[in-house]
Structure 1
Amino acid sequence: MTRTVVVSGGGTGIGRAVCAAFAAEGARVIAVGRREDVLKRTAAELTERHEGTGGRVLALAADLALPEEADRVRDEVLALGGPVDVLVNSAGGNVLIGASDGAAEGTAGAAWHWTENFRSNVLSAVLLTEALQPVIASPGGRIVMISSIAAYRGSGAGSYAGAKAALHPYVYDLAASLGPRGVTVNAVAPGYIEQTGFFGTSGLPTDRHDLLVGQTHTGRAGVPEDIADTVHWLASPAASQVTAQIIQVNGGAERGR
């Protein structure tokens, strides 16, 4: 049976890799995000790449930090027919990356980056999940959040790490409430992942790259497919007894050296 999969932040990086993984199995994937042009390009490329499996990727632009937009996504997904088998909340990022000099200074700056990181990383996941929760397939539904190693180690300024850490108790509570319906809820916490906008698509400076790789036990940076494969496993029958877990995918970097 063809599964319906909703992936927020599906246009680039980890979210795109997740869309590709499910399209490869023949799923109908709805990629959600704010940049319609990016989403449409990704949808077209992945649908063409995986046409042999019957997998399709559809683009749906929305600002998921707004309740009415999350509800609209639910309505449009339902109009396509059937329940949602898998929800992957990959949207997010650190608003301090690329911010102008001085943007985070003082109390006004702190209010800005704490609020915006909360909107980008917490509200975008919570509101979409709450909107889709009634239509998640029961039993067999899967919900996966994308957290971060920063939730364990900090992020330098606190707000991004704090936002990602806020997802963890939400996972625990949601897993408890949805477990009787046969729905599992987990999170994946990546470490340093190359080929993503978060770390710069052109790559980090050599010294920063070497430092982050040096913190791993595997001796390499992660790639988006490392996360996508873990998400795909969590959404498989093989992981039906795995719920309320935060799966770290960081080459052991969280343990340090």
Structure 2
Amino acid sequence: MSKIALVTGANRGLGRNTALSIARRGGDVVVAYRGNAEQAGEVVAEINALGQKAVALQLDMAQFEDFPRFAEALRASLRDIWGRDSFDHLVNNAGHGEFTPFALTTPAELDGLFDVHVKGVYFLTQTLLPLIADGGRIVNFSTGLTRFSAAGFSAYAAAKGAVEVLTRYLAQELGPRGITVNAVAPGAIETDFGGGVVRDNPDMNARYAGLTALGRVGLPDDIGPMVASLLSDDNRWVTGQRIEVSGGQAI
């Protein structure tokens, strides 16, 4: 029987790549998306074409009051599609970036980042905990920017630092249920993150490539397969860890 993974923000970027990587390894996927139903439907179709099951469910990580409604929609999908009352893997990927110098960052920008990346991850995981199977996996997306710094990302990195601390606490508290919890921290990646600041700015792309041991910035295909591997039984003894996937950036 295939394992079922819920991936937030799975309609684009690293979330999409992660969802497809899971499917390529024989897993089924719940594709959670905020606003682009067409993109989410395309990911579901790609997963189906790989011979795996998938469903798309709408979810806004900043709307905490809507999480119980999402949980009920998930419960119904698990019952109707898989004949189950639980899922196996939760990948907290959804998020956004703010590229603003510290001196210019506003309370609204900071609140927006912490609402999605910290409070959203905290309370979505809490809400879905009764639906996560014992022996399951949780992966929280962090960033290399919690280890090295780059001007303009202080608010984003601070939020992800909180995610890393939360990851260790969840690993401790959920360990008795056999649930592992880890954080994956990508380096500079060519996606639409931050308005495509790494992908579309040649100078910034070259600067980060020059700081990376392997000589280039990352691609989504460098991240999704690693997350899918972390969800496998091969990594059942890994928990409470921050795992950087940056090609050796700033070492």
Q: TM-score, normalised by structure 2?
A: 0.89
Task: Find 2:226's aligned residue among 199, 210, 230.
Answer: 230
Correspondence for 1:148: 143
More deviation, 58-67/244-253: 58-67
Correspondence for 2:70: 73
Residue 193 of structure 1 contacts residue 222 of structure 1 at CA under 8 Å; is this kept in 2?
yes
Task: Find 2:89's aligned residue among 86, 91, 102.
Answer: 86
Correspondence for 1:246: 242
Task: For structure 2, list consecutive stretches of 5 or more residues without a partner in the other structure.
Answer: none
Residue 65 of structure 1 contacts residue 127 of structure 1 at CA under 8 Å; is this kept in 2?
no
Residue 97 of structure 2 contacts residue 113 of structure 2 at CA under 8 Å; is this kept in 1?
yes
What amino acid is aligned across from residue 205 of structure 1 in structure 2? N
More deviation, 198-207/214-223: 198-207
- The number of residues matched between the two structures is 244
Residue 98 of structure 2 contacts residue 194 of structure 2 at CA under 8 Å; is this kept in 1?
no
Q: How does 1:48-63 map to 2 (within 5 A)?
A: 48-50=48-50, 54-63=51-60
More deviation, 22-31/208-217: 22-31
Task: For structure 1, list consecutive stretches of 5 or more residues without a partner in the other structure.
Answer: none
Q: How does 1:14-163 map to 2 (within 5 A)?
A: 14-50=14-50, 54-79=51-76, 80-81=78-79, 82=84, 83-96=86-99, 110-138=106-134, 140-157=135-152, 158-163=154-159
Residue 31 of structure 2 contacts residue 44 of structure 2 at CA under 8 Å; is this kept in 1?
no
Correspondence for 1:7: 7
Q: For 2:125, what is the secondary structure of its paired residue?
A: helix
After superposition, give the CA deviation of every residue in 1:63-116 in whole Å (9 maximum; x if it has no partner).
12222322222211111222110000000121447xxxx9x976xx52111111
* CA distance 1:155–1:116, change in 2 (3 Å): farther
* CA distance 1:46–1:177, change in 2 (3 Å): same
After superposition, give the CA deviation of every residue in 1:168-196 in whole Å (9 maximum; x if it has no partner).
11000000011111110001000011144
Correspondence for 1:171: 167
Which whole-Å CA distance do the structure 1 matches of 2:183 and 2:250 have between them? 16
Residue 36 of structure 1 contacts residue 59 of structure 1 at CA under 8 Å; is this kept in 2?
no
After superposition, give the CA deviation of every residue in 1:212-237 in whole Å (9 maximum; x if it has no partner).
00111011221112111111111101
How far is 1:150 from its partner? Answer: 1.3
* CA distance 1:217–1:88, change in 2 (3 Å): same
Residue 215 of structure 1 contacts residue 253 of structure 1 at CA under 8 Å; is this kept in 2?
yes
Which whole-Å CA distance do the structure 2 matches of 1:123 and 1:163 have between them? 10
Which whole-Å CA distance do the structure 2 matches of 1:145 and 1:163 have between them? 12
Q: For 2:147, what is the secondary structure of its paired residue?
A: helix
What amino acid is aligned across from residue 24 of structure 1 in structure 2? R
How far is 1:198 from its partner? Answer: 3.7
RMSD after superposition: 2.2
* CA distance 1:94–1:24, change in 2 (3 Å): same
Which whole-Å CA distance do the structure 2 matches of 1:250 and 1:179 have between them? 28
Q: TM-score, normalised by structure 1?
A: 0.87
* CA distance 1:167–1:19, change in 2 (3 Å): same
